[in-house]
């Protein structure tokens, strides 16, 4: 291998494909470590951020420059270098700095001349370009008829490019041919993305094919359609019970995309939530997020999934509950009143974050002495935007035996620092009849909310002499957080 070729390959493979990663690593290294706040000047503490900004800006400039540099190697006389250049562009990703028209012309020319891996990577690059690659459609249509080895990639590329003259008739012809299953699957998907109604009968046939991959793609293709006939919809619902996990996942997701809310569709999505496989569960969760008003049994199942041991399932379930929560406040409130429902913490957490109306429901649970009051106090902690609304409820919690400790934690979490709240917490710390652990928590909370309160400082100073070591230690720890300020700055 010549020295020029070696240098070219090294530049394409190593320099272009990895420099962004290196810069990203340097960016992370430049960021300061939070929590290590020594007495530094404002100028010196902001320096790491300025350095990180410089690195990020350099990364942006280089990422814009790289595609243009790699593009030069697409015309190399050496096939290995051209192949590496296409691979590097796929790794780096295309940038707005690249002239798409010029690049499409180069790739189109390559498709006429290249073979093997170079042509395959060129097709993948056109697929990444999407609608910008419409200039390559005539060549792709000729390849679809003449190059059976690359039919799969050609069909995928046409599907990503979108609508263009001649594309739909060729895809319909291919869909009815005896092409391999994986090619037919990609044809279904491309026609689905283009919302070609004439393709639905063949897609319906593929839903019952022996090839599970073809069945899954058929279900996914139907999910792109604006409307589908009732008999096809029934078949799609049946696919939610398929033996293949991939088919069930795509069928459930397709039902969510279609957007209808008949009982049979909702039952199928509910079945997806109950599925043992996490991919099907996540697809069903996504489908529920697109609903407007959701049945109580589905919301309850989402609440249970929000407490799943699987982190990603739990995360998506809680996110979906927040999305649909403001539209389903009455259902969530009803579930809180059911004694058999055990997930009160999750429901109140969701309600407190959905809207002001949901926050009012949570606050009233404490004010009315509901059995879910404890969970309500927990739920309030994640909703600082509704903090003022919660003050009255939290004050009620502080004065209610059995709720005082949780109420104190909520005060600290929401930074409820009105004078009334400070005096309520001082009252807990001063009450010798209250459990020592609760009084110690009151001292810790005063350290969080009492910075502008002389009463808080005075009480904490007195508490440092308490006979209980936990209380005295908590008071000393809290005093370190307080700052004395002029009396007129105390909040009323």
Q: 335-358 pLDDT, tens per residue? A: 888 867 778 888 888 888 888 888
Does the pLDDT of residue 448 top 50, yes or no? yes
pLDDT number for residue 319 = 92
pLDDT number for residue 349 = 87
pLDDT number for residue 10 = 43
Does the pLDDT of residue 454 top 60, yes or no? yes
pLDDT number for residue 485 = 46
pLDDT number for residue 32 = 39
Q: Is the distance from CB of 361 to CB of 370 less than 8 angstroms?
A: no
**Confidence band, pLDDT 50/70/90 cuts, at residue 488:** very low
pLDDT number for residue 57 = 66
- The mean pLDDT value of the chain amounts to 82
**Least confident stretch, 14-18, 216-220, 233-237, 387-391:** 14-18
- Mean pLDDT, residues 169-176: 92
Does the pLDDT of residue 207 top 70, yes or no? yes
Q: Within a 10 A sphere around the Cβ of 172, how many other Cβ atoms?
A: 16
pLDDT number for residue 266 = 93
Which of the two residues, 324 and 484, has the higher pLDDT score? 324
Q: Output the six-digit token pair for 368.
A: 């009315």
**Confidence band, pLDDT 50/70/90 cuts, at residue 483:** low
Which of the two residues, 37 and 302, has the higher pLDDT score? 302
Does the pLDDT of residue 184 top 90, yes or no? yes
pLDDT number for residue 486 = 47
pLDDT number for residue 62 = 56
Does the pLDDT of residue 464 top 80, yes or no? yes
Which of the two residues, 65 and 319, has the higher pLDDT score? 319
Phi-psi region of 358 (alpha: psi -120 to 50; beta: other; left: phi over 0): alpha
Which of the two residues, 169 and 19, has the higher pLDDT score? 169
pLDDT number for residue 67 = 58
Which of the two residues, 68 and 435, has the higher pLDDT score? 435
Cα separation of 310 and 315, whole Å? 9
**Confidence band, pLDDT 50/70/90 cuts, at residue 431:** very high
Residues 276-327 pLDDT 10s = 999 999 999 999 998 888 899 999 999 999 999 999 999 999 999 989 988 8
pTM reported for the whole predicted model: 0.72
Highest mean pLDDT among 251-255, 365-369, 388-392: 251-255
Does the pLDDT of residue 359 top 50, yes or no? yes
Does the pLDDT of residue 45 top 70, yes or no? no
Cα separation of 239 and 248, whole Å? 6
Does the pLDDT of residue 15 top 80, yes or no? no
Residues 375-416 pLDDT 10s = 888 888 888 888 888 999 999 999 998 899 999 999 999 999
**Confidence band, pLDDT 50/70/90 cuts, at residue 210:** very high
Which of the two residues, 114 and 464, has the higher pLDDT score? 464
- Mean pLDDT, residues 458-471: 93
Cα separation of 67 and 95, whole Å? 7
pLDDT number for residue 42 = 40
Cα separation of 484 and 404, whole Å? 28
Does the pLDDT of residue 7 top 50, yes or no? no
pLDDT number for residue 95 = 58
pLDDT number for residue 145 = 87
pLDDT number for residue 421 = 93
- Mean pLDDT, residues 229-238: 93
Q: Is the distance from CB of 241 to CB of 271 less than 8 angstroms?
A: yes
């Amino acid at each position: 291998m010549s020295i020029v070729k070696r240098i070219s390959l090294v530049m394409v493979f190593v320099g272009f494909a990895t420099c962004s990663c290196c810069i990203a690593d340097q960016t992370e290294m430049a960021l300061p470590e939070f929590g290590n706040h020594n007495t530094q000047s404002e100028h010196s503490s902001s320096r790491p951020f300025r350095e990180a900004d410089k690195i990020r800006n350099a990364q942006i400039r280089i990422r814009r420059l790289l595609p243009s540099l790699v593009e030069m190697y697409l015309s190399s006389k050496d096939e290995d270098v051209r192949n590496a250049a296409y691979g590097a562009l796929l790794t780096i990703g295309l940038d707005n700095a690249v002239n798409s028209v010029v690049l499409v012309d180069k790739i189109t020319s390559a498709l006429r001349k290249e073979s093997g891996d170079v042509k395959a990577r060129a097709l993948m690059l056109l697929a990444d370009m999407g609608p910008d690659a419409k200039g390559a459609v005539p060549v792709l249509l000729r390849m679809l008829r003449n190059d059976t080895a690359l039919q799969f990639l050609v069909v995928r590329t046409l599907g990503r490019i979108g609508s263009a003259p001649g594309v739909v008739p060729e895809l319909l012809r291919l869909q009815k041919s005896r092409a391999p299953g994986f090619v037919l699957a990609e044809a279904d998907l491309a026609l689905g993305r283009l919302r070609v109604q004439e393709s639905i009968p063949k897609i319906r046939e593929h839903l019952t094919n022996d090839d599970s991959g073809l069945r899954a793609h058929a279900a996914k293709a139907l999910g792109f359609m604006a409307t589908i006939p009732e008999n096809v919809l029934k078949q799609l619902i049946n696919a939610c019970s398929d033996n293949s996990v991939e088919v069930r996942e795509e069928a459930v997701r397709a039902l969510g995309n279609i957007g209808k809310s008949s009982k049979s569709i909702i039952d199928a999505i509910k079945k997806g939530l109950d599925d043992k496989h996490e991919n099907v569960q996540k697809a069903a969760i996504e489908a529920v997020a697109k609903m407007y008003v959701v049945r109580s049994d589905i919301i309850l199942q989402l609440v249970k999934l929000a407490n799943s041991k699987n982190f990603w399932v739990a995360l998506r379930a809680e996110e979906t509950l927040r999305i649909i929560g403001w539209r389903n406040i009455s259902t969530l409130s009803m579930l809180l009143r059911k004694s058999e429902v055990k997930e009160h913490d999750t429901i109140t957490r969701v309600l407190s974050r959905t809207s002001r109306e949901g926050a009012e429901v949570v606050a009233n649970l404490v004010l009315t002495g509901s059995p879910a009051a404890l969970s309500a106090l927990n739920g309030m902690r994640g909703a600082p935007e509704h903090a003022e609304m919660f003050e009255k409820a939290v004050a009620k919690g502080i004065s209610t035996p059995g709720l005082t400790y949780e109420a104190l934690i909520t005060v600290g979490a929401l930074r409820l620092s009105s004078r009334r709240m400070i005096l309520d917490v001082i009252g807990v710390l001063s009450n010798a009849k209250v459990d020592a652990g609760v009084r110690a928590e009151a001292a810790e909370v005063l350290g969080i909310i009492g910075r502008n309160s002389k009463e808080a400082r005075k009480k904490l100073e007195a508490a440092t002499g308490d006979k209980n070591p936990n209380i005295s230690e908590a008071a000393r720890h809290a005093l370190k957080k307080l700052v004395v300020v002029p009396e007129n700055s105390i909040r009323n």
